[in-house]
Amino acid sequence: MTGIHLQAEDLVQIGNTQIIDTFAEAFGMVYTRLIVTAFDEHWLSAATNELCGYGSSVIACDAEVGVERTLPVDQSPDGRPGAAILAFGFSADALGKAIAKRVGQCVMTCASTAVFDGLPTAEKRLPLGKTLRYFGDGFQKSKMIGETRYWRIPVMDGEFFCVESLGIEKGVAGGNIIFQAIDQPTALTAARQAIEALASVPDVIAPFPGGVARSGSKVGSKYKGLMASTSDQNCPTLRGRVDSLVVAGANCVLEIVLDGTSEEAVASGMKAAMNAAAIDGVLAIGAGNYGGKLGKFHFHLKELV
């Protein structure tokens, strides 16, 4: 096969980019939001880069983690540069363990940082400072500010100031768009523009490297024990060997996966990414699904247009 050919009567377009009549299939997950602050942007970036590392997909990672937005000092809880981080997991217990380890290893170790709760009104809670306080070896102190308890853990640059617990809520993970371009430079340009557009959309993250996944996956594998493997139908080099979904003329396919705090947030993020990615040379935009059998959230691309 040389790639699918879309019929004119089936086409919905953004500019010259064809929008394939399909849907993204997403799943319910739980999420938390933590606010990290630091002395300046350098140390904030150091902390958030470490905190979000190895957080692309729960296929193999302990959580899906990304920067939701940066906070100007007048919106920061302690008047310093800050960032809101969203983290998603399949269960509260698993997410709590993942975040405690990540904050302990990646934020408490980073000079000048502090951590605050980004979901203070949530009823369900994850322990954080409550767990990390023991690093203080008995020298830790608690502090109440309003109705919130914090822990002051002595470290070599002073104190690590950390909220006792984080709120947890139900969210949606796995919204996605898959765009097909004439070549890699065009696809990478489209990807950058889509991720830049997402920066202004609240309540969503794109957890893969640079916001983009080039190794999209399908469920299962020919190899026993492997839960996911390459999305062969979206690999341009496999046209002629599989029932390809790559349109004629496309030679590079990339995917943007979105996690959000709600169905509406994911839909808004997909719409923003789709519009920004529809540049000259991007021939088609589609999405990944499992026939509607695995995830209860379905985002139809034509409705988003």
133 and 224 share one domain: no
Average pLDDT, the chain: 95
Judging by DSSP bridges, how do beta strands 252-260 and 169-181 pair with one another? Answer: antiparallel
| Average pLDDT rounded to a whole number, residues 50-55 | 98
The better pLDDT of the pair 268, 4 is held by: 268
User: What are 219's two structure tokens?
Assistant: 């469920």
Residue 9 pLDDT exceeds 60: no
Assess whether 151 and 34 both reside in one domain: yes
Residue 191 domain flag = yes
Mean pLDDT of 83-90: 98
Distances (CA, A) of 237 to 246, 247, 282: 10, 12, 17
Q: Are residues 124 and 175 in the same domain?
A: no
**Does 302 score more than 60 pLDDT?**
yes
At 291, the pLDDT band (50, 70, 90 cuts) reads: confident
Domain boundary among 169, 189, 210: 169
CATH of residue 256's domain is 3.30.70.520
Please give the tally of structural domains in the chain.
2
pLDDT at 93 over 90: yes
H/E element, 151: strand 148-155
Does residue 1 fall inside a structural domain? no
Amino acid at position 25, single letter:
E
Residues 66 and 22 in one domain: no
Backbone phi, then psi, for 185, in 5-degree steps? -55, -40
245 close to 226: Cβ distance less than 8 angstroms: no
Whether residue 3 lies inside any domain: the answer is no
- One domain, residues 18 and 135: no
207 pLDDT above the threshold of 70: yes
Do 159 and 250 lie in one domain? The reply is no
Domain boundary among 107, 135, 169: 169
**Same domain, yes or no, for 82 and 190?**
no
Q: Is residue 2 part of a domain?
A: no
124 and 237, same domain (yes or no): no
**For residues 35 and 87, is the Cβ–Cβ distance under 8 A?**
no
Residue 291: what are its φ and ψ, rounded to 5°? 75, 15
Q: pLDDT tier at 10 (50, 70, 90 boundaries)?
A: low
pLDDT band at 4 (very low <50, low <70, confident <90, very high): very low
Residues 127 and 247 in one domain: no
Question: Are 110 and 198 within one domain?
Answer: no
* Average of per-residue pLDDT across 158-168: 98
* Together in a domain, 38 and 148: yes
38 inside domain: yes
Report strand pairing: 17-19 vs 12-14: antiparallel
3-state helix, strand, coil in the chain (%, to 5): 30, 35, 35
Confidence of residue 264 (pLDDT cuts 50, 70, 90): very high
- The answer on pLDDT for 139 being more than 70 is yes
Q: Please, which pLDDT band fits residue 6 given cuts at 50, 70 and 90?
A: very low
**Pair (53, 92) in one structural domain:** yes
Q: Answer whether residue 5 shows pLDDT above 60.
A: no
Q: Name the pTM for this structure.
A: 0.93
- List the domain range (segments joined by +) for residue 152: 30-169
Q: Which of 169, 199, 226 is the last residue of a domain?
A: 169
Give domain status of residue 67, yes or no.
yes
